């Protein structure tokens, strides 16, 4: 598969990856081709946005590995670099805490409480096109 013209993103493989009938890997695992500082990662996202979106449509998911994202503020900077509109967290049924910006903790229910089968925020309209985990 052709990778970014800016040569910032390389692809990796791992044993759990799946392949579609046309050979597209799921998820697509992207890593930096050089030492990646957070500002370079954000700049590369903005510069390669069209390519990243087309790759996301083909693969269905990204797994970014090896980028120097070490804090919640780094993570929100990367999320914001994509420029996608925020899906507000309203009416969630599980206790969660806002970490920074649009970043929340996972379900904070006690471990002894059962979580029934569900799809994250599927009752919210309009539902979000992109999710960052």
Q: Are 48 and 68 in contact (CB under 8 A)?
A: no
60-94 pLDDT, tens per residue?
888 898 888 889 999 998 888 888 888 776 766 77
User: Which pLDDT belongs to residue 94?
Assistant: 75
User: Which pLDDT belongs to residue 2?
Assistant: 41
DSSP assignment string, 85-119: PP----S-SS---EEETTEE------TTS---S--
Q: How would residue 123 be classed by pLDDT, with cut points 50, 70 and 90?
A: low
Q: Is the pTM of this model over 0.85?
A: no
How far apart (Å, rounded) are the C-alpha atoms in residues 11 and 80? 22
Beta strands in 1-133 (DSSP E): 9-12, 18-19, 25-26, 28-32, 62-64, 98-100, 103-104
Count, in order, helices (H) and strands (E) of the chain.
3, 7
User: Which pLDDT belongs to residue 4?
Assistant: 45
């Amino acid at each position: 598969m052709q990778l970014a013209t800016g040569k910032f993103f390389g692809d990796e493989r791992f044993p759990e990856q799946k392949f579609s009938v046309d050979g597209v890997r799921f998820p697509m695992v992207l890593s930096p081709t050089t030492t990646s500082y957070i500002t370079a990662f954000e700049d590369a996202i903005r510069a390669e946005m069209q390519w990243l979106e087309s790759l996301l449509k083909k693969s269905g998911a990204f797994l970014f590995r090896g980028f120097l994202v070490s804090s919640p503020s780094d993570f929100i900077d990367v999320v914001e670099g994509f420029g996608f509109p925020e899906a507000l967290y309203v009416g969630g049924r599980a206790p969660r805490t806002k970490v920074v910006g649009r970043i929340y903790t996972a379900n904070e229910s006690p471990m002894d409480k059962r979580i029934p089968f569900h799809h994250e925020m599927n009752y919210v309209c309009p539902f979000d096109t992109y999710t960052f985990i």
